[in-house]
């Protein structure tokens, strides 16, 4: 429908559109690294200026790495990494999401469950040539690779929690004080009161 030169314009628009999510993801990765790795383990007393510089440098490294993937690695490799990304992200569910609502799990049980889920999911995906589904040899059931690993993850966490007992759970070293809940103690102002009948 359009002349051949317009094809270049369309591809350029797609390339520019792809830059937006890539930039957002590189900024997110840079912030995560700076605040959770650099500031936590490398330089605890870093200034805001240093934090900004480290984040900018990390963002640049992530962008260069992404460009390397696009230019020098086969397209199939990117698709395989996308599948593995889904497998890996789901493994954080028990350790992060479920632990927000209960402290029953032992911390080492959660960590071990996460590690086994990561290894098992990666191994299953790699052994199936990175196909998104896996036919379990004994049961003969086809299931999504990430879900198989996700079932294994909390199972291991539960078993280890029962074996290790109550010692070492997430709330063992809770240092929260009663004053931490008092807004008057924190801000010097009393907590706002709600008048009767006002929602």
Please give the Cα distance from 34 to 48 (Å, whole number): 11
* Structure token digits, residue 124: 């299953």
Confidence tier at 149 by pLDDT (50, 70, 90): confident
Domain boundaries, the chain: 11-72, 74-168
Distance CA 39, CA 48 (A): 10
Query: pLDDT higher for 177 or 120?
Result: 120
Residue-wise pLDDT tens digits, 91-110: 888 888 877 787 788 888 88
Secondary structure (3-state) at 167: coil
Query: Is residue 136 predicted with pLDDT exceeding 50?
Result: yes
Say whether pTM exceeds 0.75.
Answer: no
Average pLDDT along the chain: 80
């Amino acid at each position: 429908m359009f002349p051949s030169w317009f094809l270049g314009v369309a591809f350029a628009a797609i390339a520019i559109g792809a830059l937006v999510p890539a930039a957002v993801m590189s900024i997110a990765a840079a912030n995560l690294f700076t605040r959770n790795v650099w500031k936590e383990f490398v330089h605890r007393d870093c200034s805001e200026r240093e934090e900004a510089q480290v984040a900018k440098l990390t963002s640049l490294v992530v962008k260069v790495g992404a460009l390397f993937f696009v230019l020098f690695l086969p397209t199939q490799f990117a698709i395989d990494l996308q599948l593995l990304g889904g497998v890996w992200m789901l493994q954080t569910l028990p350790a992060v999401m479920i632990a927000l609502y209960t402290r029953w799990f032992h911390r080492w049980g959660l960590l071990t469950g996460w590690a086994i889920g990561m290894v098992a999911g990666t191994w299953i995906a790699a052994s199936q040539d990175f196909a998104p589904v896996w036919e379990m040899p004994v049961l003969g059931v086809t299931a999504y690779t990430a879900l198989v690993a996700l079932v294994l993850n909390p199972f291991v966490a539960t078993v280890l929690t029962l074996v290790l007992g109550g010692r070492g759970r997430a709330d063992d070293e809770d240092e929260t004080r009663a004053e931490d809940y008092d807004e008057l103690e924190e801000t010097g102002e009393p907590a706002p009161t709600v008048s009767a009948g006002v929602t």
